[in-house]
Structure 1
């Protein structure tokens, strides 16, 4: 099947506009390749420091005769998704020895949980933790001791941060090793129902906590299809996981054998052999386009409208929301995973999961198959799922969906488009995820109620002030203002208003949860209110039009009045819970469409000079 002409055109445009920066990046990794790891050139003191605690691996590391794998881990046992990683380093070392290689923990990176910090002050640190993780990854790999990298991370900012950091060492073969989702607990629809009842005051905190604890109940990734699980899908779509490995539960024989196979495979992507596959060549323009396509075809997290531009920049590739929008017009929605449907990621996996989606997209010219992957010849080898045959691990082709209510072919999609819309107008540019929104609600025109704090929205809701058609505007939530927190805390209240029959929309320069659902939300509005963005000029009662059909984000105000209207006073910067430590990142951050990164903005400026 020939490639769809829109995919070909968008990929060509990305390649052309990225040519100067991609060339510089490829020069960077070529210099890294030519310099080697420098392990053989380290002084005796340098080298002795590096293998002093390596135990039985000392002779091999000392000789420099085999790959030494640097493990960068985001383990902590407060994150359910990352708790299984506690035992991975010891396992990886054993698995590496089986093929004559060695492994050392190169370093650890922080990993915060948006589920814990949602609606709390700590959420203001969340997005910029990605920059911290990227820098910590670079520190971990700075010791010139490694010929390969194993990245251990799953959740929201963690995978993008690990990948951004590792891409600056793009001459090294690199593989991400997942740990899998927790088994299914309380159905997500039931959890959502209890949340809305609590928002209405119809159940108490004890009932709410019971429902939440029954949903988030074990080790592994949360089972809704938010940013963490979208991360895992994208790593497969880019060929950076082993095929079909994203959603195998922790603690199973299959999970352990996939980890073993990943380490063996990484050791085979050798520095000196003929199968050299460096990360910087695996992550090219086609792989980035595949990640966007996977996001659209599965109804993935809106947070990746920020993360993917940042990941791409780290590899010298430039993408923007116009690229997302044009791809969304031709990539059909093949999956309905909660919050876009009833089933969770375990149901998605059992129905055929990522391998089935890849198979369908490749067979219909809707994905680049000719990319360099960490496993197999190209992406066609990812249209397979892993299984145990006795004690042996094998992969099997996936050609049919086992649950058409959750996973469909390109010939019969849930929607003809990918459900991520670009909106623009006199209020700026933003994205809207429509895959879970009733098309009857794609256009909302109503008076604005303007807030600068999400807690003020909830107070107004409880006081009955929002019981009407309303566009709720929450501004000064952008990266420069307070670090761009998610506003998922507002979802139950806005859902209640919508269920009462009101026309409701959210407009914000902040983020919504990667699991954002049925309420139309125009998010990531750029330019943000802080620093002069047009959201700062909105007033209560202004008529705002949010339309996913026409791509409009407009305030309906006389142009002369709008041009002379003064902006609202900006709130003071956040100060407590460590947020003041992130002032440098807020002040240096660029717009959401470029990735909302102070680190990358400074890096680009330094390279350009």
Structure 2
């Protein structure tokens, strides 16, 4: 094992001793109770199986038999989750054949950030993660179940389901992916037309044509955003079957993997093994962080991994990411970090090759429990469908396309694709894997905005034709729910292409598609809390250095302290359901604590989770 990986893991373990001990005690107490429906009264049980068929009812009456909860994020508006429509029946049939039963315990919301980008609904996006966690907890609260299958893929859905399931960590929990859509118009071509549209050089019809050619069918979007990052990290944590992430929907291999996931959950429950609490420990969380860095994954996971850890009694910090980023190389180039899509990544060797390289380099903990069995080395295999059967074979020993995927001996970058930013303007995150070296240092007068629409209007008015640090503040979790500001990407990209030095600084989010313009995001303390961004004024000289991780402003300290923090004086944005989420914005923790409304309730004054 690499000494830095061991050191960071031990620091996480030591830091989390009291909270992890309390979490495990709570899970042990739940696990010691009569399992599943065995504790229910006759009236309770009758309600729980009233709608079942005779065969399932007979099995549910057999208290030694296994009943598996299905928590689904199905809707047919979200392409990544549309395939889940047929999964429950397929799972129920597989479990019946295995001698067990399965029930849809509940559904959770699954909003699409691709639909809500730049729209009022985006202000509900991050809050939906915590709503999904609560929905998952409600689904499992019926105490009818011995194990759970979580059907979820995209941005906030997987983190939310995992956060909720962790409060039922005495159960085995297996995540079941739906797979990516087939490749369409290349993502780089789509991005080019977006920039032309921002410049007025492409019509709306032309833009819609290319967008529809890129997002064209059932399955996950093919760029390396939050959804596909989620999938790789689930494998790294041992919560998804090896190599299951990037198999297309509706194929024999996809169907067989779904059946095997159901059987695996039932088998773990029968054997009393594989509880979620035993799998997701400090080693699993560090493994996920290593994969995030090695692939230049979505910046959203710097929020989600912290929040997930808290639900397991693990106190992950951005400093852990920063320390690992110095020694974890970047091994993948997937759009927006490169031209390839997720299908081409999989064809080049995919997760099997990636896990083998990182394990051989001592950058991953191999001695871990997973839903597939003991040891992360299982994840160097890839599933195939041969002669009507699902089998796993050893993954490729060499990359099949060095322009997409490389080994640790010849990485794209010697360090990770995400970094911690710190300095006089606060602490934040920057994604460097897609930013060319010549664009990583920007020092320019700032222009301040309080929403992305104002920046777009300034661009269209020709007011931004210069070196520029665009500051978009009052976008943090407490201000407006921390929406993604992905609509800014084409406009800032145009300015960069015109030869200007351009950077973005914000207390909001970008997205898994953060690209070629350097962006210091998640800056905290946020402006709404009186953070340093609230003291900035138009024209201040701001410096962002992604290589050294510094974010500074050139204002004399005395003058800086004499400034009154700006107050967000825009009217409260109402409508589109946003007023229903005011209590969550009021309870949201800072970005570096996961931007979660659960943080306070999970930790009492002495740092021990509530019981």
Q: TM-score, normalised by structure 2?
A: 0.98
**SS of residue paired to 1:563:** helix
Q: Trace 1:184-583 onto structure 2 (pairs within 5 A).
A: 184-271=183-270, 273=271, 276-398=273-395, 399-570=397-568, 571-583=570-582
Check conservation: 1:585, 1:599, Cα contact below 8 A: no
**SS of residue paired to 1:471:** strand
Q: CA deviation at 1:439?
A: 1.1
**SS of residue paired to 1:598:** coil
Gap regions ≥5 residues in structure 1 = none
Q: CA deviation at 1:147?
A: 0.3
Q: CA deviation at 1:43?
A: 1.0
Distance 1:360 1:189 in 2: 28
Check conservation: 1:67, 1:102, Cα contact below 8 A: yes
Q: CA deviation at 1:27?
A: 0.3
Check conservation: 2:311, 2:602, Cα contact below 8 A: no
Check conservation: 1:230, 1:295, Cα contact below 8 A: yes
Q: Where does residue 595 of structure 1 map in the other structure?
A: 594
Distance 1:8 1:65 in 2: 41
Question: Residues 63-110 of structure 1, C-alpha deviation per residue, up to 9 Å, x if partnerless?
Answer: 222110000000000000000000100000001111111000000000
Q: Where does residue 78 of structure 1 map in the other structure?
A: 77
**SS of residue paired to 2:538:** coil
Distance 1:187 1:142 in 2: 44
Which stretch of structure 1 is more off in the superposition, 328-337 or 567-576?
A: 567-576
Q: Where does residue 111 of structure 2 map in the other structure?
A: 112
Q: Where does residue 86 of structure 2 map in the other structure?
A: 87
Check conservation: 1:125, 1:579, Cα contact below 8 A: yes
Question: Residues 493-543 of structure 1, C-alpha deviation per residue, up to 9 Å, x if partnerless?
Answer: 000000000000000000001110100000000000002111011110000
Q: CA deviation at 1:396?
A: 1.1
Question: Residues 177-210 of structure 1, C-alpha deviation per residue, up to 9 Å, x if partnerless?
Answer: 0000000000111000100000000011000000
Distance 2:571 2:316 in 1: 33
Q: CA deviation at 1:569?
A: 2.1
Check conservation: 1:339, 1:516, Cα contact below 8 A: yes
Distance 1:385 1:122 in 2: 38
Distance 2:496 2:193 in 1: 16
**SS of residue paired to 2:598:** helix
Distance 1:526 1:605 in 2: 23
**SS of residue paired to 2:238:** coil
Aligned length: 605
Check conservation: 2:23, 2:609, Cα contact below 8 A: no
Which stretch of structure 1 is more off in the superposition, 431-440 or 395-404?
A: 395-404
Check conservation: 1:68, 1:146, Cα contact below 8 A: yes
Q: CA deviation at 1:402?
A: 1.1
Distance 1:421 1:377 in 2: 32
Q: CA deviation at 1:122?
A: 0.3
Change in CA separation of 1:283 and 1:608 when aligned onto 2, cut-off 3 Å: closer
Q: Where does residue 166 of structure 1 map in the other structure?
A: 165
Check conservation: 2:13, 2:314, Cα contact below 8 A: yes
Question: Residues 106-152 of structure 1, C-alpha deviation per residue, up to 9 Å, x if partnerless?
Answer: 00000100000001010000000001000010000001100000000
Q: CA deviation at 1:265?
A: 1.1
Q: CA deviation at 1:575?
A: 1.1
Check conservation: 1:51, 1:62, Cα contact below 8 A: no
Distance 1:35 1:176 in 2: 25
Distance 2:99 2:348 in 1: 38
Check conservation: 1:481, 1:573, Cα contact below 8 A: no
**SS of residue paired to 1:144:** coil
Q: CA deviation at 1:572?
A: 3.4
| CA root-mean-square deviation | 1.0
Distance 1:333 1:430 in 2: 20
Q: Where does residue 19 of structure 1 map in the other structure?
A: 17
Q: Where does residue 604 of structure 1 map in the other structure?
A: 603
Distance 1:53 1:565 in 2: 65
Distance 1:359 1:474 in 2: 41
Distance 1:30 1:547 in 2: 47
Q: CA deviation at 1:608?
A: 5.6
**SS of residue paired to 1:164:** helix
Q: CA deviation at 1:6?
A: 0.5
Distance 1:444 1:252 in 2: 47
**SS of residue paired to 1:484:** coil
Distance 1:47 1:97 in 2: 19
Distance 2:124 2:36 in 1: 36
Question: Residues 379-402 of structure 1, C-alpha deviation per residue, up to 9 Å, x if partnerless?
Answer: 101101111111111111112211
Distance 2:282 2:193 in 1: 43
Q: Trace 1:43-192 onto structure 2 (pairs within 5 A).
A: 43-55=41-53, 56-192=55-191
Distance 1:600 1:104 in 2: 31
**SS of residue paired to 1:319:** coil
**SS of residue paired to 1:151:** strand
Q: CA deviation at 1:38?
A: 4.8
Q: CA deviation at 1:425?
A: 1.1
